[in-house]
């Protein structure tokens, strides 16, 4: 890098830091505290309390599990603080969350936990889910203005990206998959940053690309391009094929839905490809005709043999189609199950590699239906309402894009209702954002965009 380029980079870095400091300085103490809780929540889910795990250590899972008490305490404390802040100023927004559909979903989850095969495990993990999900729902309400929300998103994204790149440069053994990894040494060379796996890093980077594009759209000509470019480059080096393909495809799909006026046309654009994707994956093991069709395709929609996992999961659904096996209580020890006979390879999987199928296994078909109503169908209607009232178009598009990415990513990986999973957190944040934008107007930006 020549001297002029270095000087320019230094100036931009100083201006970015000054912008963040000035943004907080213009808020009163309570507003600044709300922003800090929002940033802390984003960093807790994105960076976690255990960044850069050493995958060469056979005890890495045990080491991470030993810190779960601190994770529960941290999430619970942040959620309690967020509730206190929001309850004092955003009562109508909180009341809008109390709907018959939302109450039915929570009620069904409680029934499912009571009847779970491993009630203690389900209760413990549901407690963490409740804290994480509550924080994600409340996060759009914490920053007092859209500008401060943008600063919180941008600051958290830059901190994460800085950590990931520093890890790659200074400690590659902790941030790049290695042939010495105990599990999946075949991933050697794929970047994972501060995350424990490239399959977590790649979708997070995809979402950060969308955040960068959004910040560009609202006039952030330093932070926005920096986040989009850094996240995009990192995404490529993760080797995450699914996220890389979905990144631009979902943005194009969301842009098309954004430009389409009618709700039914939006539904066709958003849901028909998703339905086809699920039919070509899980559907291929349910229907011989679909299976024969997928074998004619030039690519492998089973993602290298996941059909065995899907068959095993479908057999588990058939065992308890209504109540399910219990929230987050199925995949811990499946080798002794009747359904495992003849499917020994599939029992080594940690989940079904399909969010919708996994929910059918754990919380039953009624639970899956309620999740689809709340998290799949309702958000698009909320986006249509927000768009009809001309409420924060760029922000609504960001939420739409993140939500849509989650729906399609869920057809290949499991993240729905998965406790502190960063994809679940950002997905819920987007769904909640669309819910609030459909009913309330953002506080106007009274200052220039960052």
CB atoms within 10 A of CB 11: 11
Give the pair of three-digit tokens for residue 391.
């409420």
Instruction: Per-residue pLDDT tens, the chain, 450 aa: give them.
Output: 333 333 433 444 455 556 556 655 666 788 889 999 999 999 999 999 889 998 988 776 665 555 778 889 999 999 999 999 999 999 999 999 999 999 999 999 999 999 999 999 999 999 999 999 999 999 999 999 999 999 999 999 999 999 999 999 999 999 999 998 888 889 999 999 999 999 999 999 999 999 999 999 999 889 999 999 999 999 999 999 889 999 999 999 999 999 999 999 999 999 999 999 998 888 878 877 776 666 666 565 555 557 778 888 898 999 999 999 999 988 877 665 655 555 555 555 566 789 999 999 999 999 999 999 999 999 999 999 999 988 778 999 999 999 999 999 999 889 999 989 999 999 999 999 999 999 988 765 444 344
Give 428: exposed, middle or buried? Use CB within 10 Å, 0-12, 13-18, 19+. buried
State how far the Cα of 246 lies from the Cα of 412, in Å rounded to an integer. Answer: 11
Helix or strand or coil: residue 443? Answer: coil
Rounded distance between C-alpha atoms, residue 241 and residue 312, angstroms: 25
57 Rama sector, left if φ>0, alpha if ψ -120 to 50, beta otherwise: beta
pTM of model > 0.85:
yes
Check: CB of residue 35 under 8 Å from CB of residue 147: no
């Amino acid at each position: 890098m020549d001297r002029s380029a270095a000087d320019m980079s230094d100036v931009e870095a100083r201006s970015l830091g000054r912008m963040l400091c000035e943004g907080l300085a213009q808020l009163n103490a309570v507003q600044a505290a709300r922003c800090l809780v929002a940033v802390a929540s984003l960093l807790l889910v994105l960076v976690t309390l255990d960044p850069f795990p050493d995958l060469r250590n056979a005890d890495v899972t045990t080491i991470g599990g030993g810190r779960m008490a601190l994770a529960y305490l941290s999430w619970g404390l942040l959620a309690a603080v967020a509730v206190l802040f929001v309850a004092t100023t955003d009562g109508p927004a909180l009341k809008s969350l109390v709907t018959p559909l939302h109450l039915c979903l929570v009620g069904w989850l409680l029934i499912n936990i009571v009847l779970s095969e491993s009630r203690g495990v389900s209760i413990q993990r549901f407690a963490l889910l409740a804290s994480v999900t509550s924080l994600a729902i409340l996060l759009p309400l914490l920053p007092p203005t859209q500008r401060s929300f943008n600063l919180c998103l941008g600051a958290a994204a830059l901190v994460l990206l800085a950590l990931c790149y520093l890890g790659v440069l200074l400690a590659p053994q902790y941030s790049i998959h290695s042939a010495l990894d105990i599990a999946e040494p075949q991933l050697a060379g794929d970047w994972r940053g501060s995350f424990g796996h490239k399959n977590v890093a790649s979708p997070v980077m995809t979402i950060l690309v969308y955040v960068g594009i959004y910040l560009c759209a609202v006039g952030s000509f330093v932070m926005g391009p920096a986040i989009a470019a850094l996240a995009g480059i990192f995404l490529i080096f993760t080797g995450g094929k699914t996220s890389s393909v979905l990144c631009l495809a979902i943005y194009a799909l969301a842009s098309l839905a954004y430009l389409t006026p009618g709700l039914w046309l939006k539904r066709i654009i958003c849901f028909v490809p998703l339905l086809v994707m699920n039919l070509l994956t899980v559907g291929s093991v349910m229907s011989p005709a679909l299976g024969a069709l997928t074998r004619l395709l030039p690519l492998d929609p089973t993602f290298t043999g996941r059909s065995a996992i899907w068959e095993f999961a479908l057999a588990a659904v058939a065992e308890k189609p209504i109540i399910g096996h219990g929230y987050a209580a199925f995949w811990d020890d499946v080798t002794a199950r009747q359904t495992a006979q003849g499917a020994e390879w599939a029992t080594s999987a940690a989940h079904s590699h399909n969010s919708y199928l996994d929910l059918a296994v754990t919380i039953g078909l009624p639970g899956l239906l309620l999740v689809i109503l709340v998290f799949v169908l309702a958000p698009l209607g909320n986006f249509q309402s927000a768009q009809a009232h001309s409420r924060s178009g760029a922000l609504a598009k960001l939420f739409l894009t993140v939500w849509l990415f989650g729906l399609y990513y869920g057809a290949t990986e499991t993240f729905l209702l998965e406790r502190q999973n960063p994809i679940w957190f950002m997905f819920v944040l987007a769904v909640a954002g669309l819910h609030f934008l459909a009913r309330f107007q953002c506080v106007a930006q009274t200052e220039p965009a960052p």
